[in-house]
Amino acid sequence: MAEYKGVLIYAEIGEGKLKAISTELLGCGRKLADDLGQELCAVLVGSGVSSLAREAIAFGADKVYVVDDPLLEDYQADSYVSVMAKVVKQVMPQILILGQTSIGRDLAPGLAFRLGTAAATDCIELAIDPDSKLMWQTKPVYGGNAQAIFTCQSYPQIATVRAKAMSPLERDDSKQGEVITIGADLDASAIRARVLEKVREEVEGIKLEEAEVIVSGGRGIGGADGFKQLEELAKILKGAVGASRPPCDNGWVADSLQVGLTGKIVAPNLYIAVGISGASQHISGCSGAKNIVAINKDPEANIFRQAHFGVVGDWKKVLPAFTSKVRELLAE
Amino acid sequence: MNVIVCVKQVIDPEAPPASFKIDPTGNKMVTPPGVSPVVDPYAEYAVEAALRIKDVQGGKITAISLGANLVPEMVKKPLAMGADELILLADEAFAEGDSWSTAYALGMAIKKLGDYDLILCGREASDWDAGQVGSGIAEFLGLPSVSLARKIDITEGKARVERVTDDGYEVVEVSLPAVITVSNELGEPRYATIKGIMIARRKEPVVWKPADIGVESSQIGAAGRRSQLLKLFQPVREGKCEVAEGDSPEEAAVNLALKLREAKAL
């Protein structure tokens, strides 16, 4: 194993720039690489992505590997696993980190199995054990009811990291680094899946992941109509509306509004949970919020164990009064 | 269409959060008293996806469960929902595996079954929330895979899959046989009918031991792991909830707004 060295970040690109998760990974990877006294590298995979190598360096990478090929226009496992297996065999990193995104959660396990190593998905903390120099991979398990620390004794140690769990470094455009091109060498006939269409389901207004204030509703809201009142409060607070899983499963709101382990991970300044019991899988998605406020009629609801502020009462009575007081306070 | 669905038995994830306790010596989750194990809810979506395909295409659905201490009445749930056969990889040696050893054993069992067009798994299991076994089975069997499906249509030897992405979905076409993992956006799984429950009750699952699928006990369960569990723990949240009081819900609401203002959260 001695020949494996360094930390490699799989950087994702969206709308012509590095995705936020990628800068977060570079921030986390920089620390791991420094703790090991090794290099931090990034890899960019796609079509027409070469121009972003400089950006990865500015956010902390010492070296950037680029695999740029028209066959890599869309993500799918066959081509990406094979390309990344080739990259890993050439770069031989001790650690490979990806984002817990729709790409990373698919690519990381596929690659781990291809390479005969193990991956830990959805990590919220990564650290180097000072004795063994192995990476401790901490991730929520049992729907957020516990956390587990994993290690893997084969290289590369692969982990995916949850959005907003790590902090990016300040961008430094003066930072120097090396850019290395790797050929994809793909055989088009060996790709057994292809993307026919990509559909964005954007909600109007502020994006959940970027909102400073989120007003979320749960099963207790009782139907689509109730969410109109949450929208009103969100509008006053210049925030976004979210939901726990039951309103999505029941079709009261779009699936894209779901906050939780299987939905969006958010970390706003203010998270107002209305009629949400606080299942661990939901808490997983909002526990990074600076202030959590619970409005629920059940004083025993788990949400009160997570919230910083709360009111015990029927939301139908609490919310209108709360909304009008908020409007008044903000007008002052 | 022959569809294989992998179904895990887990501690009921809907059990109250406070009932989840860790065995301090074993680094294991203790089954909460009075809480029965269930079919993993994510796997139920995979069973539902298989049933929807069978509704249109006809064919046969085989469910596979792996583990030790499988509860017979519980693991029969896919049969009660409409699956045709149930295979149990039931042995102490299969227990305490990781994604690697679990995918390996399932892959070998599927290889033994041989005749399949599609393999479905849940997007992850609600105990370890890893989401890796589907990819692993695909790698072991040399099959293509698509994860996070919210809709699957079969046409002319191909599957057309709506795959959930971070900002919507994409339509992916994959040749069969393939492995597809199913997400909860698929929509609610059907209930078992009385008739289904009666049929399931009479049906005996096929039980396979490690030797039946040609695997050594060193390759499966705890012995076959490629990742090590160092520690399982429950972080304690510091501080407590400041509850706003009032003579009426309306007054409490006003006090909540004032508290938030004071804390500069508004």
Within the 116-145 window of chain B, which residues sit less than 8 Å (CB to CB) from chain A? 123, 126-132, 134-136, 138-140, 144-145
Whether A110 and A216 share a structural domain:
no
Domain that holds residue A233: 208-331
Is A198 contained in some domain? no
Q: Among B99, B97, B121, which Cα is nearest to B186's? A: B121
CB of A161 closer than 8 Å to CB of A99: yes
Whether A185 and A283 share a structural domain:
no
Whether A139 and A242 share a structural domain:
no
Is A315 contained in some domain? yes
Q: Say what the pLDDT of residue B217 is.
A: 94
On the question of pLDDT at B187 being above 80, the answer is yes
Q: What is the pLDDT of residues B204-214, one digit of tens each?
A: 999 999 999 99
**CA atoms of A126 and A107, how far apart (whole Å):** 19
Q: Would the CB atoms of A102 and B148 count as touching at under 8 Å?
A: yes
Q: Would the CB atoms of B260 and A146 count as touching at under 8 Å?
A: no
Q: Would the CB atoms of B170 and A148 count as touching at under 8 Å?
A: no
The answer, for B30 touching chain A at a CB cutoff of 8 Å, is: no
The answer, for B236 touching chain A at a CB cutoff of 8 Å, is: no
Residue A64 identity: V
On the question of pLDDT at A254 being above 50, the answer is yes
Query: Which of A192-206, A237-251, A280-294, A314-328 has the least mean pLDDT?
Result: A192-206
A174 min Cα distance to partner chain B (Å) = 32
Q: For chain B, what is the total number of helices (H) and then of strands (E)?
A: 7, 15
| Closest residue, chain B, to A19 (C-alpha) | B166
**CA atoms of B35 and A182, how far apart (whole Å):** 53
The tokens of A75 are what?
A: 């993500």
On the question of pLDDT at A204 being above 90, the answer is no
Is A88 contained in some domain? yes
Q: Say what the pLDDT of residue A233 is.
A: 97
CATH code assigned at A13:
3.40.50.620
A281 min Cα distance to partner chain B (Å) = 9
CB of A102 closer than 8 Å to CB of B163: yes
Bridge-based pairing state of the strands B9-11 and B37-39: antiparallel
Q: Would the CB atoms of B226 and A280 count as touching at under 8 Å?
A: no
Instruction: Tell me the chain A residues in contact with residue B234 when contact means C-beta distances shorter than 8 Å.
Output: 145-147
A176 min Cα distance to partner chain B (Å) = 32
Whether A60 and A176 share a structural domain:
yes
A199 min Cα distance to partner chain B (Å) = 5
Q: Would the CB atoms of B241 and A119 count as touching at under 8 Å?
A: no
CATH code assigned at A249:
3.40.50.1220
Is A291 contained in some domain? yes
Whether A163 and A224 share a structural domain:
no
Q: Say what the pLDDT of residue A1 is.
A: 47
Instruction: Tell me the chain A residues in contact with residue B135 when contact means C-beta distances shorter than 8 Å.
Output: 77, 106, 109-110, 113
**CA atoms of A109 and B249, how far apart (whole Å):** 50
Q: Say what the pLDDT of residue B74 is.
A: 94
Mutation target for A interface from B254, B261, B262, B264: give the one with most A CBs within 10 A.
B254
CB of A264 closer than 8 Å to CB of A286: no
Whether A46 and A174 share a structural domain:
yes
A193 min Cα distance to partner chain B (Å) = 4
Q: Would the CB atoms of A113 and B126 count as touching at under 8 Å?
A: no
Whether A83 and A181 share a structural domain:
yes
Within the 45-104 window of chain B, which residues sit less than 8 Å (CB to CB) from chain A? 98-100, 103
Is A201 contained in some domain? no
Select from B128, B145, B250 the Cβ nearest to the Cβ of A321. Answer: B250
pLDDT tier at A192, thresholds 50, 70, 90: very high
On the question of pLDDT at B239 being above 80, the answer is no
- Rounded mean pLDDT of B147-167? 96
Whether A140 and A277 share a structural domain:
no
Supply the ipTM of this predicted assembly: 0.94
The answer, for B249 touching chain A at a CB cutoff of 8 Å, is: yes
Domain count for chain A, please give it.
2
**CA atoms of B162 and A195, how far apart (whole Å):** 10
Select from A150, A308, A330 the Cβ nearest to the Cβ of B241. Answer: A308
* Cβ burial, residue A67 (10 Å; 0-12/13-18/19+): buried
Q: Say what the pLDDT of residue A206 is.
A: 87
Is A161 contained in some domain? yes
The answer, for B115 touching chain A at a CB cutoff of 8 Å, is: no
Whether A184 and A220 share a structural domain:
no
Is A186 contained in some domain? yes
B221 min Cα distance to partner chain A (Å) = 15
**CA atoms of A142 and A122, how far apart (whole Å):** 12
Select from A109, A136, A150 the Cβ nearest to the Cβ of B131. Answer: A109
A195 min Cα distance to partner chain B (Å) = 4
Residue B258 identity: L
State the residue for tokens 């995104």: A101
Across B107-120, b (16+ Cβ under 10 Å) vs e yields: bbbbeebeebbbbb
Mutation target for A interface from B139, B238, B251: give the one with most A CBs within 10 A.
B139
In chain B, where are the structural domains located? 2-224, 239-266
Select from B103, B139, B257 the Cβ nearest to the Cβ of A325. Answer: B257
Select from A193, A256, A313 the Cβ nearest to the Cβ of B252. Answer: A313
B229 min Cα distance to partner chain A (Å) = 5
pLDDT tier at B99, thresholds 50, 70, 90: very high
pLDDT tier at A2, thresholds 50, 70, 90: low
Whether A25 and A143 share a structural domain:
yes
Q: In what order do the strands lie in the sheet with B118-122?
A: A193-200, B168-175, B158-165, B145-155, B178-182, B118-122, B2-6, B60-67, B85-90, B206-208
Q: Say what the pLDDT of residue B167 is.
A: 86
| Closest residue, chain B, to A288 (C-alpha) | B237
Whether A181 and A237 share a structural domain:
no
Q: Say what the pLDDT of residue B238 is.
A: 67
φ and ψ of A241, to 5 deg: -100, 135
Side-chain-side CA neighbours of residue A144 (13 Å): 22
Q: What is the pLDDT of residues A60-116, one digit of tens each?
A: 999 999 999 999 999 999 999 999 999 999 999 999 999 999 999 999 999 999 999
CA angle centred on B144, ends A114 and A189, rounded to 5°:
100
A28 min Cα distance to partner chain B (Å) = 21
Q: Among A103, A121, A93, A119, which Cα is nearest to A29's? A: A93
Query: Which of A121-130, B32-41, B136-145 has the least mean pLDDT?
Result: B32-41
Q: Indicate the fold that domain B2-224 takes in CATH.
A: Rossmann fold (3.40.50)
Whether A115 and A30 share a structural domain:
yes
The tokens of A41 are what?
A: 């590298």
Q: Say what the pLDDT of residue A201 is.
A: 81
The tokens of A245 are what?
A: 């899983």
Q: What is the pLDDT of residues A28-63, one digit of tens each?
A: 999 999 999 999 999 999 999 999 999 999 999 999
Instruction: Tell me the chain B residues in contact with residue A147 when contact means C-beta distances shorter than 8 Å.
Output: 232-235
Q: Would the CB atoms of A149 and B229 count as touching at under 8 Å?
A: yes
Q: Among A248, A267, A107, A144, which Cα is nearest to B129's? A: A144
